[in-house]
Chains A and B, each alone.
Chain A
Amino acid sequence: MNEREHLIDLVDIEKTFGTSTVLSNINLFIRRNEFLTLLGPSGCGKTTTLRIIGGFERPTRGDVIFDGKSILNLPPYKRQVNTVFQKYALFPNMNVAENIAFGLKIKKADSRYIKRRIEEMLKLVNLSGYDKRQVTSLSGGQQQRVAIARALVNEPSVLLLDEPLGALDLKLRKEMQMELKNMQKKLGITFIYVTHDQEEALTMSDTICVMNAGVIQQMGRPEDIYNEPQNVFVAKFIGENNILDGVMRDDFWVEFAGKNFVCVDKGFARDEAVDIVIRPEDIAIVAPGGDNLAGVVRNVTFKGVHYEMLIESAGFVWKAHSTVMSQSGQEVGMRIAPDLIHVMRKSEYSFIDALPETLVERAGLSNAERGVYTMPVGVAASSATH
């Protein structure tokens, strides 16, 4: 067994359209049978990356290595990858069976074999008996299944999926997420999946590659991305967060929100300015007083599993989750365990209070959902310059 671990390698990919750089310095590898997700807001270059792998775009610079060989000069129809397009892109002049058979017919496969494969595929995507239906008469979810079947019937080494569930409603999307993940495990095919939905990415992926502005921000297992975001952008994009300025006083000792905290991070310069990221669910609401951060509850929203509270403390509004309800106006204390304080080096994203509005809107998310709060300038400055 001398199989290469990396099935696809993108090497120093750069892509420019006219004067605008869409991708720069993209280096990533995709392992065999891996479910890799390219995650990022609209316009971050994730779809362009996918199209470069599919052969629909040529990178301005860099190389695409497939199983050890460059496929840069191979046209799409000669690549061992198949794509599920964002808008399904089914052939409207063909019925379901003809759509699925398209790839096999081009390969001049035996007609009995084609028939058998169509049946297998329809069974796989739960559409048995739909073979003679016109694709235009199908619902969005059904069309998507046909698109997946049409791609998978060719037994590609890699399946590329470009926001395939974007047009489906929430319930159907959740179902399809499970189905896709199951299919991927069952068939043992490498999936490269593009989405702007961080929850989808966390649910399905073996590896997530977070992108923004044409640059890879972080790559890793979903747990790592969630628990140890490398910069403020990743922290903001993956789930809700409280983000504060802090100063690393010494190893395992950080100061923010006007207090000193014990943390688990080390290796920073003395008094280095850092970003502090604390997840709402990591804040324990306790009685006021003592060494805890003191704050006043400003707003309480019931979210089903927990209450979401906005707690004002020394001019900063914290977002905290708790299963115990507090009253608006109530004074509370907040405690954060040392290992739940995420300390990050300052990056180009540190000084952006929120994701650019347009990106957030295009990603279909509001600032409130992202849990991004604007920190009063005074507080930010004071904690950083102490």
Chain B
Amino acid sequence: MKTRYLSLPYLIWALVFIIIPIGLVVYYSLTVEVDGKLIFSWANYKQALTPSYLLALWRSIWLAFVCTVICFALGYPIAYIMASREYASKGFLLFLFLVPMWMNFLLRTYSWLSILERNGFINSLLRLLSLPEARILYTDKAVVLGMVYNFLPFMILPIHTVMKKMDSSIIEAAQDLGANGRTVFLRVVFPLSIPGVVSGVTMVFMPSVTTFIISKLLGGAQFMLIGNMIERQFTESRNWNLGSAVSVMLMVLILTSIAIFTVVDKDGEGGALF
């Protein structure tokens, strides 16, 4: 009985800040404003399924995918090395990777702006070496770079945690049974780290696919990801109904992808999200 009362504030929180807003978004998405009144209509979804929106959605998914792959390729070895015996006591290294997370996300992204821009750090360096200038800012590359930079810790942390928890005697058992370093990794370490990978992939992919700040700052005003499309409907265009419909579409897409992931990772920790 007591725990039920204790959970009450959280239930209220969930209701006020999660359930009601989602209900409102769904409600808005299914209505259009006519003479100041909201009436039921599929029009928003019809518009959300037009090529310009689908293209932005596809682009978002593609860039988020690229970002997730890069984060995995960079993050997995880092997590593995930092969890290994030689580095286990050196929390400092992990600390270094996490320090940027303490700073404001916007500030960090703005700083890339000054590094990548035409007269920024990189081009000054290239000029100094008499090399041709590089146009990085306002391209896909800059957006992916910004995403990877911001979301890499979310890949490293869960993998690192799983690696740390891994019983070293299991690895020794594999060696004992004749497995060399490569086999130990492929047959034991990697399969056991999959829950961390699933968490990391989810935690990187989801914010990447929905980001609009990174694409706006590093991709430029014309750079349209699905997040930017939604943002524009809620700000400039003031069409909340269309914005809601696109949001719901994106939400369904994300939930489906997590569901697929959860099925793949039957008993892993990524499933905790569901």
Instruction: List residues of A whose CB falls within 8 A of some B CB.
Output: 54-56, 75-78, 81-83, 85-87, 89-93, 102-103, 106-107, 150-151, 154
> Known: A77-B180, A106-B179. Contact between A89 and B173, CB under 8 A?
yes
Interface centre among A76, A78, A150, A151 (most CB of B within 10 A): A76
> Known: A92-B192, A102-B187, A106-B183. Contact between A77 and B175, CB under 8 A?
yes
Is the pair A154, B177 in contact by a Cβ cutoff of 8 Å?
yes
- Of A76, A86, A154, which contacts B175 at CB under 8 A? A76
Residues B174-188 near A (CB distance < 8 A):
174-180, 183, 187-188
Closest to A106 in B: B178
A-B contact pairs, 6 of them (CB 8 A): A89-B170, A89-B172, A91-B192, A102-B177, A106-B179, A154-B177
Is the pair A54, B179 in contact by a Cβ cutoff of 8 Å?
no
Is the pair B172, A76 in contact by a Cβ cutoff of 8 Å?
yes
- Of A87, A93, A107, A154, which contacts B169 at CB under 8 A? A87
Closest to A51 in B: B172
B191: chain A residues at CB < 8 Å are 93
B169: chain A residues at CB < 8 Å are 85-87, 89
B167: chain A residues at CB < 8 Å are 87, 89
Is the pair B170, A77 in contact by a Cβ cutoff of 8 Å?
no
Interface centre among A85, A102, A107 (most CB of B within 10 A): A102
Size of B's binding interface in residues, CB under 8 A: 17
Q: Give the distance to chain A from B10, nearest Cβ to Cβ, in Å.
A: 32
What is the CA–CA distance of A54 and B179 in the complex, to the nearest angstrom?
A: 14
Is the pair A93, B192 in contact by a Cβ cutoff of 8 Å?
yes
Q: Give the distance to chain B from A95, nearest Cβ to Cβ, in Å.
A: 13
What is the CA–CA distance of A333 and B95 in the complex, to the nearest angstrom?
A: 72
What is the CA–CA distance of A77 and B183 in the complex, to the nearest angstrom?
A: 11
Q: Give the distance to chain B from A165, nearest Cβ to Cβ, in Å.
A: 16
What is the CA–CA distance of A89 and B178 in the complex, to the nearest angstrom?
A: 15
* Per-residue interface assignment for chain B, residues 58 to 95, with 1 indicating a CB less than 8 Å from any chain A CB and 0 otherwise: 00000000000000000000000000000000000000
Q: Give the distance to chain B from A102, nearest Cβ to Cβ, in Å.
A: 5
Is the pair B192, A77 in contact by a Cβ cutoff of 8 Å?
no
Is the pair B173, A83 in contact by a Cβ cutoff of 8 Å?
yes
What is the CA–CA distance of A266 and B175 in the complex, to the nearest angstrom?
A: 52
- Of A77, A83, A86, A90, which contacts B179 at CB under 8 A? A77
B178: chain A residues at CB < 8 Å are 77-78, 103, 106-107, 154
A78: chain B residues at CB < 8 Å are 178
What is the CA–CA distance of A90 and B180 in the complex, to the nearest angstrom?
A: 17
B183: chain A residues at CB < 8 Å are 106
Is the pair B192, A150 in contact by a Cβ cutoff of 8 Å?
no
What is the CA–CA distance of A104 and B115 in the complex, to the nearest angstrom?
A: 55
B172: chain A residues at CB < 8 Å are 54, 56, 76, 83, 85, 89
What is the CA–CA distance of A87 and B175 in the complex, to the nearest angstrom?
A: 16
- Of B174, B175, B180, which contacts A91 at CB under 8 A? B174
- Of B170, B176, B180, B188, which contacts A54 at CB under 8 A? B176
A90: chain B residues at CB < 8 Å are 170, 173
Is the pair A106, B173 in contact by a Cβ cutoff of 8 Å?
no
Is the pair A85, B173 in contact by a Cβ cutoff of 8 Å?
yes
B177: chain A residues at CB < 8 Å are 77, 82, 102-103, 106, 150-151, 154
What is the CA–CA distance of A106 and B188 in the complex, to the nearest angstrom?
A: 12
Is the pair A91, B188 in contact by a Cβ cutoff of 8 Å?
yes
Closest to A56 in B: B172
Closest to B191 in A: A93
- Of A54, A75, A86, A102, which contacts B174 at CB under 8 A? A102
A89: chain B residues at CB < 8 Å are 167, 169-170, 172-173
Interface centre among B167, B175, B178, B191 (most CB of A within 10 A): B178
